[in-house]
Amino acid sequence: MNAPKPWLPEAAAQTSLGRVRGSNEDAFGYRADHGFFIVCDGMGGAAGGEVASRMTVQAVLERMCTGAAATDGRETLHAAIADANRAVLERADRDPGLYGMGTTLVSLLLRPGSALIAHAGDSRCYLWRSGKLERKTHDHSLVDEQMRLGTMTREEAERSPFRSVITRAIGTQQTINEEVQEMKTEPGDVFLLCSDGLTREVDEEEMARVLGVGDDLQAAAKRLVEAANEAGGRDNVTCVLVRVPVDTSV
């Protein structure tokens, strides 16, 4: 008799400078064996965006590989994000060259049968299930909030000079209120975590087309980033794709 396979999500990631920017302020990281995946998109300061996103990915990822995360993932993640926020603020305080730096965050914590999505800012999480793409996060941005209030149309939002204004991010306020949602997963679900460099260049129909091509996650991640660059590549582009395994523990 074969031993049951360990529960292990499959993941692939791709990042690109894009075609305009001089540096990549996006950062990502994951540990599939701990079921944790994260994308951050840095902003502000001279070199600050890059520092803020990398610091945050590293600190949160490290914390999510501890025994505490295995016991209480939700609480550990909340503490890790709060600590990363404090660390980014302190670092910016000490180094005037980094003043004003911050970063968005979107993360996925997978456990057999469930997913915990946390985010702050306009990096997004999508779910690809049964041939359909569903956006799981709404942006913490000025235009997205106005659209949800009904005071701005999608067309107005796309033309707005304020479309880059983020209303929640790591390193911009003394306390960070990340948004957290828990959902049930199904075997074969694919989650996409991405920065706005993807979503501003590639519409959801095109993203769904790419994800519908086949099961090769690495090829899909590469194709999504290529599509953003072909559409202009005006920003750094990052995507992480994660597939929920068949649950062998039940």
- Is residue 111 within 8 A of residue 72, CB to CB? The reply is no
Please name the residue that has the structure tokens 């670092």: 91
| Per CB under 5 A, 50 contacts Ca ion | no
Smallest separation (angstroms) from Ca ion to the CB of 234? 9
- Is 167 exposed, middle or buried, given 0-12, 13-18 or 19+ CB atoms closer than 10 A? middle
Smallest separation (angstroms) from Ca ion to the CB of 105? 13
| Per CB under 5 A, 139 contacts Ca ion | no
- Residues 3-42, interacting with Ca ion (CB under 5 A): 41
Smallest separation (angstroms) from Ca ion to the CB of 244? 27
Helix ranges (H only) for 193-243 are: 196-199, 204-211, 217-230
- Is residue 190 within 8 A of residue 241, CB to CB? The reply is yes
Smallest separation (angstroms) from Ca ion to the CB of 166? 10
Q: Residue 12's beta-bridge partner residues? A: 241
| Per CB under 5 A, 235 contacts Ca ion | yes
Spatial distance between the Cα atoms of 134 and 144, rounded to a whole number of angstroms? 17
Tokens representing residue 54 in the block? 């990398």
| Contact stretch for Ca ion (CB under 5 A) within 157-165, 172-180, 199-207, 231-239 | 231-239
Report which residue type is found at 30. Answer: Y
Size of the site for Ca ion (CB under 5 A): 5
| Contact stretch for Ca ion (CB under 5 A) within 12-20, 70-78, 187-195, 218-226 | 187-195
| Contact stretch for Ca ion (CB under 5 A) within 87-95, 146-154, 197-205, 242-250 | 197-205
Please name the residue that has the structure tokens 């990398």: 54
Smallest separation (angstroms) from Ca ion to the CB of 20? 11
**Binding interface with Ca ion (CB under 5 A):** 41, 195-197, 235
